[in-house]
Structure 1
């Protein structure tokens, strides 16, 4: 079984998206929760960009005890110097140096030549080394739109200068899984096996998780991901979705992680409170409806055995199963509730209650089971707690 490393970018790429700003104290709380749930590396932010990110890095560097942490930097000596200062000499600090991976960016963003780009990679990695950095990650921006030979030249320069890790970014969400897998394979073939190779995928085409999995299949060792997939534009690879795939399909894939999935929802709640992120209805794992149903056919089967319509166990991710009562519910849920109240569920009574409480509900109007059970108890003149089970 191959152990896949998890690099969490929630506090950097996740925070970059509009509306996601966090204070240093909020970042620290999230970093500690991410460490608790078992990620390998927590990206603290970009110390060279603001006093807030510098302070967040300083706090996190002093507080983490098992996880590593990373800082984002341009190919800039000043960025790297500030990162090293904020990290305070912590040996678990990874200096992430971002370089230019496509001709589009060289021409329209940077206005530099390939030769200049190679020179600044070499200088940045060697400078980080000179300051005592022992873990240096070359992050190749827009790698998915770059030529493979150019990407290999950048990576080769960085490794020769002393880089210990390489991240290939699908910065614009451009790639499909086959393309991204081929890129990872091309780089994996030209670097020593002890160089950690990571994916950083965006979800502009809804393919970030698929691309990350393709990257792992092609030889990547690590995935950069964020809680709830937050990040620039359409977001990043979702940490919880990746953890779910490798938890439930790990045997088939020959991969696993150290993530404690049962703590993921606690992490989401912490993030939600920090950035006022509403829980989406249909998001995998974190969605309001991820483990909920009001459909009568589904409910009838799930009351017999939840496995009938439930592949992922909600408790494995800190969630709870919810059978809701709505206009698509059936008579089986009424029989279930009457049984909890200790009332015989004869067909006539069930049909009467079905017309009263289910058939004529407004669209979208759903109740929790305990709410309807209490209404039934009041309607039938029995104690609300009579015969009720959890």
Structure 2
């Protein structure tokens, strides 16, 4: 199986979304946590945008020992110079943003295709002249660009020295078959040693699906963010990509050396930094990802967790949570009694069920700890009554 390279852009694209601003030292802490997962490249920001991004780039470039650092830059010599001053040249993946669609050329930039292409080619040459080892052609809005725009841009950029081509579905407009087709065409145009990278947005909820289609079509790298944060609806979630490649890599012909352990701790650092709260139903990081209150599910899990747990909580630093609510059954009550080494009194089970399960119409749940405390108190009261 091919090993998929992971490029994380939590600290750049993730931070660009409203409410996600991070201070340089917060970025450093998160970068080190992401590096510990085994991620290959960590994008630290847009150095020309602010002194804060330049400071973060310096701090992180100095601190990383295994992952490489990346920055995003416009095709301007000043942007590139600031990026190299901040993050160095040797282990720096310097991304140069290119205009990838006729829509952007006309409505955003107001220039012709040839002019935009010349700017990018010149910028790549300038970066190489400063000693940058790895230059990426980052094609914005590539998913809406014609082959007549994309192919010459890519080929001329590679001749100028780019060794990676990032194909951005900037508006999240594609479905997997379309995005996979685009990656396959680009892969067919360029030499095998040139890395093809995916950058997918989640406007239609397809960022992960599109990235996986890209891998199957020949992409070598996937750009991700922790919890999928990023512009608008966000990006391909790092934790979900790692989970898919860990559990189902064989099915798509790809693998990863990134670790599942440490993901939830990294997510915690991100939440602390930007005030993010996990939704109930988010894969891997969601409040209810490894929780259940449905009696049918609980009965199966209590007998053998694999009945309903395909993804194992411990592998992601999570714990299984079994809650008692109105959808729970008597099996969970019997389980708690047995766990506490108390006799399974069916009359007590029925009473507990009526009092603490059947009538919970407001959606509130009782934790296993609360249920143990209730049973302990009842058992103690019953024991006292028998000794009188």
TM-score w.r.t. structure 1 length? 0.96
How big is each residue's C-alpha offset from its partner over 1:247-285, in whole Å with a ceiling of 9 and x where there is no partner? 110122221112110111011001000001001100001
- Where 1:48 maps in the other structure, the secondary structure is helix
SS of 2:323 mapped into structure 1: strand
Match of 1:386 in 2: none
- What residue is the counterpart of 2:2 in the other structure? 2
Question: Hey, what does 2:40 align to over in structure 1?
Answer: 40
Q: Which runs of 5+ in 2 are unaligned?
A: 383-388
Instruction: Provide the aligned C-alpha RMSD in A.
Output: 1.1
Q: Helix, strand or coil: the match of 2:49?
A: coil
Q: Deviations over 1:85-130 (max 9, x none)?
A: 00134x1101100000000000000111001011001100000011
- Compute the displacement of 1:362 (Å): 3.5
Residue 78 of structure 1 corresponds to 78
1:302 is paired with a residue whose SS is helix
C-alpha deviation, 1:370, in angstroms: 1.1
Deviation at 1:382, TM superposition (A): 7.1
* Distance across 2 between alignment mates of 1:364 and 1:76: 56
Preserved contact between residue 283 and residue 290 of structure 1 (Cα < 8 Å): yes
Aligned to 1:169: 168
SS at match of 1:42: strand
Q: Distance in 2 between matches of 1:378 and 1:341?
A: 12
- Answer whether contact 1:121 1:157 (CA < 8 A) is retained: no
Asked whether the equivalents of residues 87 and 93 of structure 1 are also in contact (C-alpha less than 8 Å), the reply is yes
TM-score when scaled to structure 2?
A: 0.97
Aligned to 2:95: 96
Residues 120/242 of structure 1: CA separation in 2 closer, same or farther (3 Å cut): same
Counterpart for residue 342 of structure 1: 341
Distance in 2 between the 1:121 and 1:221 partners?
22
Q: Provide the C-alpha distance between the structure 2 equivalents of 1:95 and 1:125, rounded to a whole number of angstroms.
A: 9
1:118 counterpart residue number: 117
In structure 1, runs of 5+ residues without a counterpart are 384-390
- What SS does the corresponding residue of 2:190 show, helix, strand or coil? coil
In structure 2, distance between residues paired with 1:269 and 1:382: 42
Counterpart in the other structure of 1:11: 11
Match of 2:308 in 1: 309
Q: Secondary structure of 1:381's partner?
A: helix
User: Within 1, Cα distance between the matches of 2:381 and 2:256?
Assistant: 50
Could you tell me which residue of structure 1 aligns to residue 249 of structure 2?
A: 250
Output one character per residue of 1:9-41: Cα deviation in whole Å (capped at 9) or x when no partner. Answer: 000000000000000000000111111011000
Q: Distance in 2 between matches of 1:107 and 1:379?
A: 74
SS of equivalent residue, structure 1 residue 7: strand
